[in-house]
Amino acid sequence: MTPIILDMDPGIDDAVALSIALTHPAIDIKLLTSVAGNVSVDKTTNNLLKLTTFFNKTNVPVASGASAPLKKPFVDASYIHGKSGMPGYDFPQVTAKTLPVDATTAMAQVLSMSPEPMTIVATGSYTNIALLIQQHPELLKQIKQFVLMGGSLSGGNVSSVAEFNVFTDPDAADIVFKSGVPIVMIGLDVTLKALLPLKTIDNVAHIGESGSMLQKLMTAYGDSEPGGKPMHDVNTICYLLKPEFYTTKDYWVDVITNGPAAGATIADTQNRWSNGKVNAKVAVDIDVQAFEDWFLEQIPVMNQSREGAI
């Protein structure tokens, strides 16, 4: 099993990614942390607890994280994800509680106790992991890699150049990309290709209770493109398990932190200023059919895991 820390802001596509991660036999979630992003941090935290309860995984520790970006005012994406962040399904009453420490402290504790460097997967803004870098630089050697949903080399979804997660806290993203920790950037360049057709989403409803839950969430999801709906955050989990689906290129990536281009991720694709140095493995293409087939294969596993844990 691959041990990971999973930092999220659920959010519907985060919820789909977490559903796979909680139930996949090859992933061992050592810690779940919440951050303000798609909705406020109290809601994203509660949504993590809803899903650990739904899948009978209340043994997975959850810590509440940053309620706002490092510097800029917080603006959510409830216009895409609904007021709660996960509308459309009536979840069971939450039975789990959060840890008594904040996300950054919890991350530091897990990393310091790990016998080997761990992967941190982030599908929301990067505020928590930027605070970890600032407050616990001695633990950077304990981080194997960051797998980040965010950024874009080909245009944004909240401005002409910026993707939402990076735009939400560009100062945090700048800290992360300058940290020296290996980064895999899974951005809009691939997530806007990996669309789930509406017919596929409808058919998911017939694959047990987990499928019904996911279909209701995905139907309520306000992010839609011609050809289907992008499940941006699912790509981080898919990359961990099936990296062969992705075409990547190594680049030096800088983050613009202010001005009209705030949140832009600029790669030195022509080696004009980085002197051959790289700080990120950037996903630039994906096998779309393999992604869709893989996604559909996960739902029966979810059902088996959910029933087996009762």
Positions annotated as catalytic residues are 232
From its phi and psi, is residue 76 left (phi > 0), alpha (psi between -120 and 50) or beta?
Answer: beta
CB 84 within 8 A of CB 183: no
**HEC secondary structure over 236-262:** HHHHHHCHHHEEEEEECEEECCCCCCC
CB 190 within 8 A of CB 286: yes
Q: At what angle do helices 208-220 and 12-23 cross, to 10 degrees?
A: 160
Tokens of 227: 């050809």
Our CA dihedral for 216, 217, 220, 223, rounded to 10 degrees, sits at: -140
Only one residue has tokens 């009762």, namely 310
Q: Which of 88, 100, 117, 8 is nearest to 52 (CA)?
A: 8
Strands 253-255 and 265-267, how do they pair?
Answer: antiparallel
Q: What is the DSSP letter of 308?
A: H
Element (H, E) at 146: strand 143-149
